[in-house]
């Protein structure tokens, strides 16, 4: 199985949590230290949680299930779409429509409408005026943006993989109501119990999101019997990291490394 190690996570900035004033007390077990007013996430816990999530996803995929990737926040959209496309799974990167899961029959009607509008040479356009055609074109573009990642999804997904539990709370709530297992990257400002399989990590870092979503994608590919090219960790972590308001410009990798090493030594003692 394709794996990443703690060093990969460290280089991607996965250990940076939110300011201590914004933390969720339920996240305490995943916090290893505080530095400059920021919680530092225990990457050993992150690594263990990621491996556990991968094992469960393998079971789901090998039994014929599908995974729906959800990442509608700006930092996650590109990585989520690319990772889902790589492994042939579905995704939602625009606005999550309420009822996407709990009212899936209505969503399927909307998708059928999109498919109809995409058939520009069909009878639907035959007797329309130019103004009416333009209106339908705008409708087509809107539906295409909302449904492009789930247009071919005929049934409810077998699992949900989300980025940021607070941001995707509606999707999580719908999945839980239907008994669909939930996986996700959860930061220190979020209750990790929101999802069934929480991966404690920085959910504002583009590099961290890409690293973890690509790992999930590779696991799905292997579970379906496919093969992946060997990836160098540098190819993942060298993606440019955009600044975030909550995880404020902390360029202290040396300090973070020391913290992780100290926590490992304390564990050994």
Say how far apart CA 202 and CA 208 lie, in whole Å. 7
Say how far apart CA 220 and CA 153 lie, in whole Å. 17
CA distances for 11 relative to 88, 235, 237, angstroms: 28, 11, 6
CATH-assigned architecture of domain 6-97+157-268: 3-Layer(aba) Sandwich (3.40)
Q: Is the pTM of this model over 0.85?
A: no
Domain regions of the chain by residue span: 6-97+157-268, 105-147
Number of residues assigned to the chain? 269
Burial class (CB in 10 A: 0-12, 13-18, 19+), 203: buried
pLDDT in tens, the chain (269 residues): 456 789 999 999 999 999 999 999 999 999 999 998 999 999 999 999 999 999 999 999 999 999 999 999 999 999 999 999 999 999 999 889 889 999 999 888 888 888 777 776 556 666 777 787 778 778 778 877 778 889 889 899 999 999 999 999 999 999 999 999 999 999 999 999 999 999 999 999 999 999 999 999 999 999 988 776 544 434 444 443 333 334 433 433 444 444 444 444 443 34
Neighbours of 126 (CB within 10 A): 7
């Amino acid at each position: 199985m394709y794996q990443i190690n703690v060093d990969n996570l460290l280089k991607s900035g996965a250990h940076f949590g939110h300011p201590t004033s914004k933390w969720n007390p339920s996240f305490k077990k995943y916090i290893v230290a505080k530095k400059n007013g920021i919680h530092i996430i225990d990457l050993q816990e992150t690594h263990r949680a990621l491996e556990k999530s991968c094992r469960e996803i393998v079971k789901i995929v090998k039994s014929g299930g599908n995974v729906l990737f959800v990442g509608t926040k700006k930092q996650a959209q590109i990585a989520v779409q690319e990772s889902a496309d790589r492994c042939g799974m579905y995704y939602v990167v625009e606005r999550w429509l309420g009822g996407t899961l709990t009212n899936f029959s209505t969503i399927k009607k909307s998708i059928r409408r999109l498919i109809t509008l995409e058939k520009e040479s069909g009878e639907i356009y035959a007797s329309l005026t130019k103004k009416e055609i333009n209106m339908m074109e705008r409708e087509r573009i809107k539906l295409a943006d909302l449904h492009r990642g789930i247009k071919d999804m005929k049934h409810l997904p077998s699992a949900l993989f989300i980025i940021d539990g607070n941001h995707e709370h509606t999707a999580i709530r719908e999945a839980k109501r239907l008994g669909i297992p939930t996986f996700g990257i959860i930061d220190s400002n979020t209750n990790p119990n929101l999802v069934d399989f929480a991966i404690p990590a920085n959910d504002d870092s583009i590099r961290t999101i890409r690293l973890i979503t690509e790992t999930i994608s590779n696991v799905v590919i292997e579970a379906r019997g496919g093969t992946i090219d060997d990836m160098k960790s540098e190819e993942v972590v060298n993606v440019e990291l955009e600044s975030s308001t909550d995880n404020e410009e902390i360029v202290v990798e040396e300090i973070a490394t020391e913290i992780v090493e100290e926590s490992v030594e304390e564990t050994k003692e």
